[in-house]
Structure 1
Amino acid sequence: MESFTKGLKGRKSALKPVQIPTRDDNDMIESDGEPLSPTAQMFHEPNFNIYVIAIIGLKNHINPRVVYDKLPQSLLKHPRFSSLQVVDDKNDGIMKWVPTTVNLNNHIIIPNIPQTLDSSDKFLEDYAYNLSKTSIDSSIPMWDLHLLNLKTSQAEAIGIFRIHHSIGDGTSLMSLLLACTRQINNPDLVPTVPTKKDSESGWSSSYSSRCGGPWWKRWFVVVSMVFWLVWNTLVDVGYIMATALFLKDTETPITSHAGVELNPRRFVYRTVSLDDMKLIKNAMNMTINDVAVGVTQAGLSQYLNRRYGEGIKDEGATEEKNNLPKKIRLRSTLLINIRPSSGIQALADMMEKNTDAKWGNWIGHVILSFAIGIKDDPLDYVREAKATIDRKKNSLEAICTFSLASLVLKLFGIKAANTISHKAAARTTLGFSNLVGPQEEIGFYGHAIEFLAPSCYGHPHGLMINFQSYVNKMTIVLSVDENTIPDPQKLLDDIEASLKLIKEAVYAKGLVKDDEGGLPQAAFT
């Protein structure tokens, strides 16, 4: 495997200063670049040096020449992908974006693949694992694309995008994907993603359901909602501050230890039915995100019960009798998009039309508690998830954490801001995200996409769980430190089995009839 990653640089702990050159007729570099955002700067700190990695399964063989020809017409039009990130030593070390000429030979990597393999899936897993040991040289724009004409159990070929997190957050990168791809059935159209209806937002739906009657009742409801918004925000921000200072999660078999962000990662994924998740969503009047968190809670509970019970005869776990400690504080750090726009689709449309868009890292941190325990009623997992998420919706936690991080950076510098953010994340157990993908099948420069499996490495958790929807599929992606999760496929088994168990419980309780084939599809939220 070392021969296949030859030429990749060893991982670097931080961005090194680069002297900003002046404009020259032979290149496009300018000296007065735009400063990086506070969050983008933090992603270059040694203990927060994070890369996004997206494994893309393709339905047909990759034609590298097409990729070489098409990239300049799409991806490279975006300034972040054709700019250096440099430190201006003459201006207090401020990091800036400086346009440059892109040599695609430095960014497109086509590894040699042996003619015979024991397992192509294992080869791909090892390739991505070795990739996580490396970083991208800061003397070029910090992204690369790996093209593998490798037939796996799920795809005919594989593309791996690796992008430094300073370039953009998940919403930005998904929007860029939409802007660079086209619908298979309508090649002239960009893909679409489900958007959240205004009527389904937490405040509007709550207000409309409670604000009937006389004026004094409406006034009381508004005052009450404002009070709880302020109160919840204060509690949540205080909780994050306590976490940054001293509040740790319970030590469990999946707790990682100091320095885990420097370890390489295994990336494993499993594709399940999005229609199954929609069925649960509609039957229980909740969102896809509620279902994703509930299924994850159930899967983690089963996995931890097994890990705690190693060496003990398995006699079946119940709510009253299992191997789990009575109380477990297990929390996830979520990165939340705080853009005021309606979401990914609006950003993709703006990028397609070459208009200004909220590109970059417009994200705030939220700490979400996971209810770990064995439930006799599987639906309790999603009910508890919905209650937790509904409570988080009535809070400005994400906006406040983004603003506080920016304030700390301005007042005390990047080191202080990074220390606080890193400690708050490192004292939780895992990272979690749920990203909405295209509703239609899409093609990347004529290559039809089978699945999308995004994740990251360089974060201070031993476990990262990503849910990524695409057409009628949901791909669950795990990024794991092998010392923390030595058997990630078993964790995927538990999450998949939990989804099946919850779906069966929905039918068993009569929330949906067998012959209906599921309830009518509602908007994805």
Structure 2
Amino acid sequence: MNAAGADTDTVLRKRQLTVRTTSSNGGNGFRVGGGKGAAAATPPEPVSPSARLLEDFFIVVVIGIATPVNDPVARAGIAAQFARYPRFRSIQVTDEDGGNPRWVRTTLNVDDHIIYPELDMDAVAADPDKAVEDYVASLSTRTGARPRPPASAGALAFAAWLWSFVALAWHTVVDVASFFATTMFLKDPHTLFKRVKHGEFQRKRIVHRGLSFDDVKLVKNAMNGAYVDMINSGREDEVKWGNALGFIILPFFIGMHKDPLDYVRKAKKVVDRKKSSLEVVFTHLAAEVILKLFGLKAAAAIFHRMISHTTISFSNMIGPVEQVEFCGHPVVFIAPSGYGPPEALTVNFQSYVNTMMVNLAVDEAQFPDCHELLDDFSESLRQIKDAALSLGKHHTKA
């Protein structure tokens, strides 16, 4: 919420809220907030191992809207829309002896989720984007099975299908071995992108830049690439809530190429190879097994060590293809990011309508001018797009 859009008589909220509390009766029949009915009758659900492992990681999403915040409409929208999600109306409860935490339903209080920050209005007037960026930075100092071909397809098709499983098994063994070796002793070589002092906490600055999604599509089509769509469906009571945590280690090649498309070709080759592996499944299972056998501290230490031995974390997500609203307010952009991993740079890509948003969470000590890094992303896409256009013209003439 922006401070300018709030009523002048609204009390500025500065306290941080917590979702963790302690049950005095072992969690049996625990009631929170005096609620009745479903909120009080729903039995506590154990917090998943993955969620416990990531409890010190925080997701930050910056949403740009086209109009000033209408406070009553926003409150009504949050109460009506977000209250449907179990996690939004739950808190973590643990026994007094520090037992396993559980999710317990509580009565939703919208005022607990809307905070009006105190911003320097002179700074807002001078550069509103930087004022928001500074505020966000301050928060951090807070597979599917392959179908068997029909018999009519012939022996060659059957042999190819069988070979795909052999390749899958081999790639999985290699990737899992590489993952555990990285956890134990393998380290990325030092580059400008690698944090110098892993043991020290540094403030993370979160910045973003919108790129043309049409340019991304042009390059994708020129290189015969593909998008991965993940579609979740089902009724609310059929959805299994929680985090399914898995990792894939991807090599990045740093070097100068005469043809900018060579970067894309190498990346596509690596990703195509990773698609023929169950690395993410095994790493997910390993995380849960380690957590159950050795506890949260051991699992977190191993997880932290693996992240510390790598250079960059990145993820991507496909967003709405049409403009959406946030509680009655037209959304201009969506920029998800976060802080917590002990790496100097985290990259998130988020598509929305015809924009691909590049979101960076950077260690301020390592990247004093993170906007220059965003300029590099823009320039790289421009060069790759121009090379793709030239490639298309060459093929047309041929």
- Give CA-to-partner distance per residue, 1:303-330, whole Å, 9 cap, x none: xxxxxxxxxxxxxxxxxxxxxxxxxxxx
Change (3 A) 1:42 1:512: farther
TM, length-normalised to structure 2? 0.86
1:449 corresponding residue in structure 2: 331
Distance 2:106 2:355 in 1: 39
1:83 aligned to which of 68, 90, 104: 90
Say which SS state the counterpart of residue 66 (structure 1) adopts: helix
- Contact kept in structure 2, 1:212 and 1:218, CA below 8 Å: no
1:122 corresponding residue in structure 2: 130
2:348 aligned to which of 458, 463, 466: 466
1:413 corresponding residue in structure 2: 295
- Contact kept in structure 1, 2:208 and 2:374, CA below 8 Å: yes
- Contact kept in structure 2, 1:203 and 1:394, CA below 8 Å: no
**Equivalent residue letter for 2:185:** F
- TM-aligned CA deviation for residue 385 of structure 1: 0.4
1:19-168 alignment runs, 5 A limit: 19=24, 20=27, 22-23=30-31, 26-27=34-35, 28-29=39-40, 32-44=43-55, 49-89=56-96, 93-116=99-122, 117-134=125-142
1:343 corresponding residue in structure 2: 230
Say yes or no: does 1:357 pair with 2:239. Answer: yes
Say which SS state the counterpart of residue 86 (structure 1) adopts: strand
- Contact kept in structure 2, 1:468 and 1:475, CA below 8 Å: yes
2:199 corresponding residue in structure 1: 259
Change (3 A) 1:459 1:228: same
Distance 1:483 1:498 in 2: 24
Which sections of structure 1, spanning at least 5 residues, go unmatched? Answer: 135-197, 290-341, 515-525
- Give CA-to-partner distance per residue, 1:107-153, whole Å, 9 cap, x none: 1012345554221111011110112222xxxxxxxxxxxxxxxxxxx
Which sections of structure 2, spanning at least 5 residues, go unmatched? Answer: 1-10
2:6 corresponding residue in structure 1: none
Distance 2:146 2:72 in 1: 50
How many residues matched?
377
- TM-aligned CA deviation for residue 441 of structure 1: 0.6
- TM-aligned CA deviation for residue 15 of structure 1: 6.2
1:416-427 alignment runs, 5 A limit: 416-427=298-309
Change (3 A) 1:51 1:361: same
- Contact kept in structure 1, 2:48 and 2:243, CA below 8 Å: yes
1:114-513 alignment runs, 5 A limit: 114-116=120-122, 117-134=125-142, 215-256=154-195, 257-259=197-199, 262-288=201-227, 343-344=230-231, 346-347=232-233, 350=234, 353-510=235-392
- TM-aligned CA deviation for residue 61 of structure 1: 1.1
**Identical pairs, percent:** 38
- Contact kept in structure 2, 1:378 and 1:505, CA below 8 Å: yes
Distance 2:68 2:336 in 1: 21
Q: Which deviates more, 251-260 or 402-411?
A: 251-260
- Contact kept in structure 1, 2:13 and 2:115, CA below 8 Å: no
- Contact kept in structure 2, 1:265 and 1:457, CA below 8 Å: yes
1:328 corresponding residue in structure 2: none
2:7 corresponding residue in structure 1: none
Distance 1:433 1:93 in 2: 33
Distance 1:449 1:371 in 2: 36
- Contact kept in structure 2, 1:244 and 1:424, CA below 8 Å: yes
How large is the RMSD of aligned CA atoms in angstroms? 2.9
Runs of 4+ off more than 6 Å:
211-214
Distance 1:98 1:456 in 2: 25
Say which SS state the counterpart of residue 485 (structure 1) adopts: coil
Say which SS state the counterpart of residue 61 (structure 1) adopts: coil
**Equivalent residue letter for 1:118:** A
- Contact kept in structure 1, 2:222 and 2:392, CA below 8 Å: no
- Contact kept in structure 2, 1:22 and 1:31, CA below 8 Å: no
**Equivalent residue letter for 2:86:** P
- Give CA-to-partner distance per residue, 1:239-289, whole Å, 9 cap, x none: 1100110101101122113235x4321111110100001011111101357
Distance 1:512 1:72 in 2: 56
Distance 2:153 2:106 in 1: 63
- Contact kept in structure 2, 1:274 and 1:474, CA below 8 Å: yes
1:317 corresponding residue in structure 2: none
Say which SS state the counterpart of residue 401 (structure 1) adopts: helix
Change (3 A) 1:212 1:509: farther
Distance 2:202 2:221 in 1: 40
**Equivalent residue letter for 1:268:** V
Change (3 A) 1:426 1:5: farther
- Contact kept in structure 1, 2:21 and 2:91, CA below 8 Å: no
Say which SS state the counterpart of residue 428 (structure 1) adopts: coil
